[in-house]
A = this chain, B = another copy of it.
Amino acid sequence: MNAVLIYSGGLDSTVLLHHLHQAGNELAALSVNYGQRHSREIECARQQCARLGIEHRVADLRSLAPLLGANSLTDSAVDVPQGHYTEETMKATVVPNRNMIMLSVATGWAISRKSDCVAYAAHSGDHAIYPDCRREFAEALDAAIRLADWHEVHLYRPFVDWTKADIAKRGEELGVPFAETWSCYQGGEVHCGQCGTCIERREAFYLAEVDDPTPYAMEAPTVDQLVAQFWRLS
Contacts and interface: CB of A to CB of B under 8 A. Distances in A.
Contacts of A108: 64, 67-68, 95-98, 100-101
Total copies of the chain: 2
Interface in A85-128: 95-101, 103-105, 107-109, 111-113
A132 B148 CA distance: 5
A231 interface: no
A177 interface: no
Interface stretch (A36-44, A134-142, A222-230): A134-142
A149 interface: yes
Given A100-B144, A107-B97, A144-B141, A59 B68 contact: no
Interface of A: 30, 57, 59-61, 63-64, 66-69, 95-101, 103-105, 107-109, 111-113, 131-132, 134, 136-137, 140-141, 143-150
15 contacts: A30-B67, A68-B109, A68-B112, A100-B100, A100-B145, A101-B105, A103-B104, A104-B104, A131-B150, A140-B144, A140-B146, A141-B144, A143-B143, A143-B144, A144-B144
